[in-house]
Amino acid sequence: MDMILDNFNHLYHGFGIASDPFNILLMAIGILLGVIIGVLPGLGGANGVAILLPLTFSMSPTSAIILLSCIYWGALFGGAITSVLFNIPGEPWSVATTFDGHPMARSGRAGEALTAAFTSSFVGAFFAIVMITLIAPLVAQFALQFGPAEKFAVYFLAFASFVGMSKEPPAKTIVSMMIGFALACVGLDMVTGQLRLTFGFTELLNGFDFLIAVIGLFGIGEILLTMEEGLEFRGKAAKIDPKVVWKTWKTLPKFWVTSLRSCVIGCWMGITPAGATPASFMSYGIAKRMSKNGKNFGNGEIEGVVAPETAAHAAGTAAMLPMLALGVPGSPTAAVLLGGLLIWGLQPGPMLFVEQAEFVWGLIASMYLGNIVGLILVLTTVPLFAAILRIPFSIIAPVILVICAIGAYTVNNNVFDVLMMMVFGVLGYLLKKTNYPLAPLVLAIVLGPSAEEAFRQALLYSGGAVSVFWSNGLVSSIMGLGVIAGIWPLIALLFAKLRGTSAQPA
C-alpha cells in the first residue's frame, strides 16, 4: 500500500514537470508530427522517431522523451486514419482495424469509424497508464518469468485463437496462415545463422518485410478491387460534421464490456511482451466470438473497431513499462526510444525507477497529458480527414499508389521492395477474389519469425524435449488456452450436438 501511495506522490511531482508550458508545446508538436507519420504508410512510428531522435539531443532527457513519446502516441492515433479511409494499415497493429473500419467508411460512416477508433485508442492507452502508475514495480517482476517457452505459448495462443475464432472456414484460414509462414522463413535463419530460401538473390537477404506485404496486400489490392468495381469510392456521400463525434460517443458506452476486455488483453500482451499486434488480433477475434453482433463483424460493425483499437493502444502503452523497468522494448518504436534513453545517459533497468524518478514519473505524467492533448487534436481534425473521401477516386487512387510506393521504398531504401509491393498487390487481389482471408497471412508474416525463434530457443534449452511447453503452470495454462481456442469450432459443435439442437457451423 505504501508503495502505491509513494507512486502517487511521485506522479504528482511528475505532473508538475510535464505541465511546463514548453513541454505542453512539445506534446502538441509531437502528436501532430506523429499523426502525419502514422498516416504515411511505411514511415511508421519507429522510423519517424529514429529520424527525429537527433533533434532531441540538445534537450533535457525529460523534454526529449516527452516529444518522442508523443510522436509515438500520434503515430498510434494516425495509423487508424489510413486503415479506415483507404484500407492501408500504417502499422502492424492497425491491420485488425481495417476489418470493420474500412467497410464503415465505404458505407458512408467514416466519421463514426474514426471517432470510435480515436476514442477507443484513448481509453486503451488511459487504462494502461493507470495500470503503469499503480503496479509498475510488480509488473516488471511478472515479465521476468517469460522465457522462450512462455513467449512461444503466447504466440501460439494468438495463432490458435485466430484459426478457432475466425468466421472464415478454418481450412482457408490455415492455408492463408501457412503461406504467411512460408514467406516469413525467407532470409536469415536466426538460430543457425544461415541464409535460407534466398536462392542466391541478395535482394532477399532481408526476407519479406511485413510492411511491404501489408502495403501491397491491402493498399494495392484494394485499389485493384476498386478499379474492377468501377472508379469510385463508395464513401463518397459521407456527410461529416462535428455532431458525428457526439453521436458516436453516445453509442460507445454500450460496448463497455468489449472495451474493458480489450484493455485487459492489451495490457497483458504489452507487458509479456508479445506486443500490440497479437493484442489487436486477439481482441478482435474474441470480441467477434462474444458479441451479439458477432456475425456482422467484417461488414462495418463499430464494435469491430473498438476492440482492436483499444487493445492495440493498451498494449502499445503498456509496452513502455518493460522498456523502462527491464530494458526490453515491447515494440520497434520502443526499441528506438530505448536507444534514445541510452544516448541521454539513462540506463533503462530495474534501477531507473529509483535513480531517475523525476524522469520516469515525468514521462508517465506526460502519457496522461499527451493522450488527452492527442485525443483533442485528432478529434478536431476528424472532419478534415474524412473529407479526403470526397475527392474523386481518379485523383486519390494515383496519390495512394504514390504514397504506397514511397512507403515501400522507405522501409529499406530499396527499389526492389517497390516491385515486391506490386507483386503482393496482385496476390492480395487474387486471394480476395478467391475468398481467402488476408489477415492470417499478415499475422503469420508479422509473428511467424518471433514464434519460430521462441519455439527453437525453447527446444535448444530443453535439449529437444517438447515437454518444455508444459513444464510449469504459466506456460501450461497459456498453451492450454491456445489449444482450446484452436479447436473451439469443434467444441462448439460438440456442445450443440449434446444439447440436441441442430449443429451450427462456427
Partner 1 sequence: MKHLHALGLGAVTALGMTALSMLPAAAAWEPTKPVEFIVPAGTGGGADQMARTLQGIIAKHDLMSTQLVVINKSGGAGGEGFLDVKGAKGNPHKIVITLSNLFTTPLATGIPFNWKDLTPVAMLALDEFVLWVNAQEPYKTAQEYEAAIKAAPDNTFKMGGTGSKQEDQIITVAVQKALGKKITYIPYKGGGEVAVQLVGGHINSSVNNPIEAVSQWRGDKLRPLCVFDSKTLPYTDKIQGDLSWSSVPTCKSAGLDVEYLMLRGIFMPPGVSDEQVAYFVDLFKKVRETPEWQKLMKDGAFNQTFMAGDEFKAWLEQSETIHKGLMQEAGFIAGN
Rg (CA), the chain: 22
- Is 137 among the residues that bind partner 1 (CB under 8 A)? no
- Is 372 among the residues that bind partner 1 (CB under 8 A)? no
Amino acid at 260: L
- Is 113 among the residues that bind partner 1 (CB under 8 A)? no
Cβ atoms < 10 Å from Cβ of 345: 8
Instruction: Return d(Cα 81, Cα 102) in angstroms, integer.
Output: 10
- Rule CB under 8 A: choose which of 194, 394, 502, 504 binds partner 1: 194
CB of 446 vs partner 1, minimal distance in Å? 15
Instruction: Return d(Cα 346, Cα 324) in angstroms, integer.
Output: 10
- Rule CB under 8 A: choose which of 348, 362, 407, 448 binds partner 1: 348
Beta bridge mates, 187:
196
CB of 414 vs partner 1, minimal distance in Å? 9
Coil/strand/helix, residue 501: coil
Q: Of 402 and 460, which has the nearer Cβ to partner 1?
A: 460
- Is 145 among the residues that bind partner 1 (CB under 8 A)? yes
Instruction: Return d(Cα 80, Cα 117) in angstroms, integer.
Output: 7
The values of phi and psi at residue 196, to 5°, are: -140, 150
Instruction: Return d(Cα 436, Cα 174) in angstroms, integer.
Output: 10
- Rule CB under 8 A: choose which of 11, 185, 343, 481 binds partner 1: 343
DSSP state of 274: -
Interface segment toward partner 1; rule CB under 8 A; list 103-111, 144-152, 255-263, 301-309: 144-152
Q: Of 347 and 380, which has the nearer Cβ to partner 1?
A: 347
Among 332, 281, 263, CA closest to 75: 332
- Is 453 among the residues that bind partner 1 (CB under 8 A)? yes
- Rule CB under 8 A: choose which of 107, 206, 251, 476 binds partner 1: 206
Q: Which helix (H) or strand (E) holds 196?
A: strand 194-196
- Is 465 among the residues that bind partner 1 (CB under 8 A)? no
CB of 212 vs partner 1, minimal distance in Å? 12
CB of 189 vs partner 1, minimal distance in Å? 8
Q: Of 319 and 326, which has the nearer Cβ to partner 1?
A: 326
Check: CB of residue 442 under 8 Å from CB of residue 180: yes
- Is 476 among the residues that bind partner 1 (CB under 8 A)? no
HSE-up (13 A, CA, CB side) for residue 44: 28
The contact set with partner 1 (CB under 8 A) reads 46, 50, 53-54, 57-58, 144-148, 187-195, 198, 202, 205-207, 326-329, 332, 335-336, 338-339, 342-343, 345, 347-352, 355, 412-413, 453, 457, 460-461, 463
